[in-house]
């Protein structure tokens, strides 16, 4: 079939605008140096999600970076690493940015302590003492007096940790005692928590680890979110002496305020999109100088249902004046799988003698769930030379990863032996190894070989430990998981949960739970466990989660050491009646791209005609990879079996249509755009193919063509259908040119491309 393009068709020119996103922070993996000067658009869900993974989560893992050099027993405050202090600074500035405040808090090591009239006599160290030194000494004092606290934290003996009795520093030098007492008097304090974990407790105000336990006045939070705050200093110690001394934090929150700030409402949870992991029982609204004595609160869900509230504090003592209330939890729904909207109105406030109200909306979200999915689209029968596949870009994504797999019968076995654990994701803390080869009382805590997987609690409070098998399993009818399990010392409240995910790990469903023996001790041997796998036909991930119903009690590695058989031991994990996606090496793409390539590189070798390939794409924000988009199965065909046009369309532009159609409406049919090496999706490149020039008394058309391309040209003086005659086309140096002399009569030239 022939199709012609005539120079009398004039193409419209359009300019394509380029849009972008301006970050107030620096996204990306491993931005340890970025600790301050953040902004976040809370009205953009993806910006909040990206901010969570790029900033909040960047401070996780702080236990591995603290490098505390002190000793409680030796009365040595010691020091912590600069990277760890950066973790604390980043976490504080994350919270302030989420609250809409300046997120440039300094952790100035040279700033000196506050000594004023209210400072207790025993809390006046040398005037040159830095806040950092005082905070570190205060943390040591809190840890030393662990017996004053409930398990995991919370004052039990009645002493005020901010101004305790002399016994708290008995035996210490006078100067160290004064430093500690000054630090305690002017700091938020936490026991059983330190670093970013303590900052979380201060914001939550419902964690007994923050000294004083539940704090309805949300004083710790108010000091963190005080609008005039300019700096903090952090003191931190880890648990020691086998858990006899709790970890502790002192966050110095006094002195060196900003001279003035623009007054604004500060809500927590803040308006806009809000990560549900930070949700608190105590909601608050602050405004400098506001009178909340008669204020009332109303809350409704996004569906209009009333959420009952109870005002619990109207105090004006700490930081900015603040109203605190508790919403009825039974009226609220988890945002794990669906965003949850809450409308808030605070009425009858008095600002500058005027009664005002303030309304805002909080949308709770699961920050591990994207609403957008990077689903690929393209030819189901690409040429065996390869093809391009397209997707809708997701705002704020920093990187995409293309996985090309082939589906085969699952025959793998995970046995924890050396060189076999490359697809195991270690979700344990740094105090012990996931891969264990311990023996206890002449008994092996591994079933076969010399190793097993071990999950245990490292310290107080007990936090979830996990291992994930990074294999995409596809269950068939009757699918199951089997493994060998031996319980070590576990309380009856400790649990091993076998979980599955069909959305790439964003959400998990527990399929089976195994509780500890409690006082029954350890299992005498390994026992075979079998779990049915649901979700027939869906790509499924498997993980083992070690958790507890009582985080502040139970066995821990810190108490007993790694050689003691604590926790649960897992070996010889395998599946039956399942397929698995065997992947080539994933290929990375930048966050601003919108297409990927299936070729020999991404497939791990030449594409095999007639074989099925499964294409999946996933997105990264911060250090977090979200689940894969919908899988696309394609089957390559021999390129030689396709016309040149069909091969081009299937490999690059599956969506543009037939040879004689004009996808981008630039006046140039798709088939001509192929020969001219043009982009059939770009309307702006059409004019060049139709623009004549005058050269040495000749009218000339000229354009680059693809290697091996052929093109004809025709001339007419009348534009009548039977008046067109072929003229010679010169193809030289990759360009096609046609030229005719200028005469007294008007003439017309057109290109002709045949399929």
Determine which helix (DSSP H) or strand (DSSP E) holds 199, and give its type and residue range: helix 195-204
Q: How far is CA 386 from CA 37, 649, 675, 708, in A?
A: 45, 12, 19, 20
Among 313, 309, 310, residue whose Cα is nearest residue 293: 313
State the pTM of this model.
0.82
CA-based radius of gyration for the chain? 34
pLDDT, one tens digit per residue, over 532-569 is: 999 788 999 999 999 999 887 788 887 788 889 999 99
The label of the residue with tokens 């107030």 reads 24
Transcribe 466-534 into DSSP letters: EEEEEEEEEEEEEEEEEEEEEE-B--TTEEEEEEEESSTTSS-EEEEEEE--GGG---SS-EEEEEE--
pLDDT, one tens digit per residue, over 3-62 is: 444 433 322 222 222 223 333 344 443 455 689 999 999 999 999 999 999 999 999 889
CA 577 and chain centroid, separation: 33
Average pLDDT over residues 61-73: 93
| DSSP-derived pairing of the beta strands 272-275 and 354-365 | parallel
pLDDT band at 603 (very low <50, low <70, confident <90, very high): very high
**Structure confidence at residue 150 (pLDDT):** 65
Residue 143 has pLDDT above 70, yes or no: yes
Cα three-residue angle 231-250-68, rounded to 5 degrees: 105
**Structure confidence at residue 177 (pLDDT):** 97
Q: Say how far apart CA 680 and CA 683 lie, in whole Å.
A: 7
The label of the residue with tokens 């980043």 reads 90
Among 455, 397, 450, residue whose Cα is nearest residue 429: 455
Domains within the chain, CATH numbers bracketed: 2-14+656-754 (2.60.40), 45-252 (no CATH), 266-365 (2.60.40.1220), 387-398+591-652 (no CATH), 409-580 (2.60.120.200)
Token readout for 587 is 């290929």
Would you call 441 exposed, middle or buried from its count of C-beta atoms within 10 A (0-12, 13-18, 19+)? exposed
pLDDT, one tens digit per residue, over 690-740 is: 788 888 888 888 899 999 998 999 998 888 989 999 999 999 999 999 989
Token readout for 536 is 């027939």
**Structure confidence at residue 29 (pLDDT):** 39
Q: Is the bond preceding 269 in cis, omega lying within 30 degrees of 0?
A: yes
Average pLDDT over residues 606-627: 94
Determine which helix (DSSP H) or strand (DSSP E) holds 125, and give its type and residue range: none
Residue 260 has pLDDT above 60, yes or no: yes
Token readout for 747 is 């003439």
The whole-chain average pLDDT of the chain stands at 90
Cβ partners under 8 Å of residue 336, min gap 6: 276, 366, 369, 507
Q: Say how far apart CA 548 and CA 462 lie, in whole Å.
A: 7
**Structure confidence at residue 212 (pLDDT):** 55
What's the distance, Cα to Cα, between the start and end of the chain in Å?
Answer: 5
pLDDT, one tens digit per residue, over 22-35 is: 333 444 434 556 89
pLDDT, one tens digit per residue, over 656-692 is: 999 999 999 998 899 999 999 999 999 988 877 778 8
């Amino acid at each position: 079939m022939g199709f012609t393009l005539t120079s009398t068709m004039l193409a419209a020119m359009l300019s394509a605008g380029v849009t972008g996103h301006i970050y107030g922070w620096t996204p990306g993996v491993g931005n340890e140096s970025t600790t301050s000067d953040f902004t976040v658009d809370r009205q953009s869900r993806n910006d909040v999600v990206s901010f969570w993974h790029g900033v909040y989560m960047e401070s996780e893992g702080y236990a591995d970076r603290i490098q505390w050099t002190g000793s409680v027993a030796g009365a040595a405050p010691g020091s912590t690493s600069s990277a760890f202090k950066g973790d604390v600074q980043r976490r504080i500035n994350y919270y302030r940015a989420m609250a809409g405040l300046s997120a440039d808090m300094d952790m100035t090591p040279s700033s000196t302590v506050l000594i004023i009239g209210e400072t207790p006599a025993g809390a006046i160290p040398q005037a040159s003492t830095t806040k950092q030194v005082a905070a570190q000494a205060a943390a040591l004092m809190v840890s030393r007096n662990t017996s004053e606290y409930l398990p995991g934290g919370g004052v039990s003996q009645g002493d005020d940790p901010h101004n305790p009795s002399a016994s708290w520093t008995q035996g210490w030098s006078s100067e160290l005692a004064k430093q500690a007492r000054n630090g305690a008097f002017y700091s938020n304090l936490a026991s059983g928590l330190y670093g970013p974990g303590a900052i979380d407790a201060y914001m939550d105000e419902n964690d007994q680890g923050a000294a004083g336990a539940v704090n309805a006045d949300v004083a710790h939070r108010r000091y963190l979110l005080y609008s005039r705050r300019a700096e903090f200093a952090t003191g931190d110690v880890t648990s020691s002496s086998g858990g006899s001394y709790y970890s502790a934090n002192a966050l110095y929150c006094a002195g060196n305020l900003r001279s003035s700030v623009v007054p604004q409402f500060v809500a927590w949870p803040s308006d806009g999109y809000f990560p549900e992991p930070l949700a608190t029982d105590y909601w608050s609204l602050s405004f400098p100088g506001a009178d909340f004595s008669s204020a009332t609160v109303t809350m409704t869900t996004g569906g209009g249902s009333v959420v009952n509230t109870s005002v619990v504090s109207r105090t004006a003592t700490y930081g900015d004046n603040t109203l605190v209330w508790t919403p009825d939890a039974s009226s609220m729904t988890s945002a794990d799988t669906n965003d949850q909207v809450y409308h808030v109105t605070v009425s009858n406030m008095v600002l500058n003698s005027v009664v005002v109200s303030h309304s805002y909306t909080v949308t709770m979200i699961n920050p591990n769930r994207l609403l957008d999915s990077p689903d690929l689209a393209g030819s189901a029968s690409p040429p065996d030379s390869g093809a391009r596949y397209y997707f809708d870009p997701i705002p704020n994504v920093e990187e995409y990863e293309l996985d090309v797999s082939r589906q085969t019968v699952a025959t793998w076995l995970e046995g924890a032996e050396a060189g076999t654990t490359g697809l195991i994701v270690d979700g344990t803390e740094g105090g012990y190894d996931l891969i264990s080869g311990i023996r206890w009382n002449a008994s092996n805590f591994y079933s076969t070989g010399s190793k097993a997987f071990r999950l245990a609690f490292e310290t107080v409070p007990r936090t979830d430990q996990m291992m994930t098998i990074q294999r995409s399993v596809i269950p068939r009818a009757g699918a199951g998981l089997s493994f060998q399990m031996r319980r070590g010392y576990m309380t009856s409240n400790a649990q091993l949960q076998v979980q599955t995910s069909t959305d790439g790990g964003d959400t998990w469903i527990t399929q089976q739970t195994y509780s500890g023996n409690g006082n029954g001790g350890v299992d005498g041997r390994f026992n075979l466990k079998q779990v049915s796998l649901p979700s027939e036909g869906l790509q499924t991930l498997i993980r083992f989660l070690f958790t507890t119903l009582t985080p502040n009690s139970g066995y821990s590695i810190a108490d007993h050491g790694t050689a003691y058989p604590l926790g649960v031991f897992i070996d010889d994990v395998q599946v039956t009646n399942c397929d698995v996606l065997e992947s080539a090496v994933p290929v990375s793409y930048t966050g601003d791209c919108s297409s990927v390539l299936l070729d020999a590189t991404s497939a791990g070798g030449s594409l095999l005609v007639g074989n099925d390939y499964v294409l999946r794409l996933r997105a990264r924000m911060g250090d977090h990879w979200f689940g894969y988009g919908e899988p696309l199965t394609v089957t390559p065909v021999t390129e030689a079996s396709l016309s040149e046009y069909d091969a081009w369309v299937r490999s690059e532009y599956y969506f543009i249509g037939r040879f004689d159609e004009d996808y981008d409406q630039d006046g140039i049919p798709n088939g001509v755009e192929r020969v001219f090496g043009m982009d059939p999706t770009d309307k702006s490149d059409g004019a060049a193919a139709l623009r004549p020039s005058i050269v040495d008394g000749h009218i000339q058309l000229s354009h680059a063509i693809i290697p091996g391309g052929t093109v004809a040209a025709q001339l007419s003086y009348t534009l009548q259908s039977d008046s067109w005659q072929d003229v010679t086309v010169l193809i030289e140096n990759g360009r096609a040119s046609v030229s005719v002399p200028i005469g007294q009569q008007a003439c017309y030239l057109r290109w002709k491309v045949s399929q």
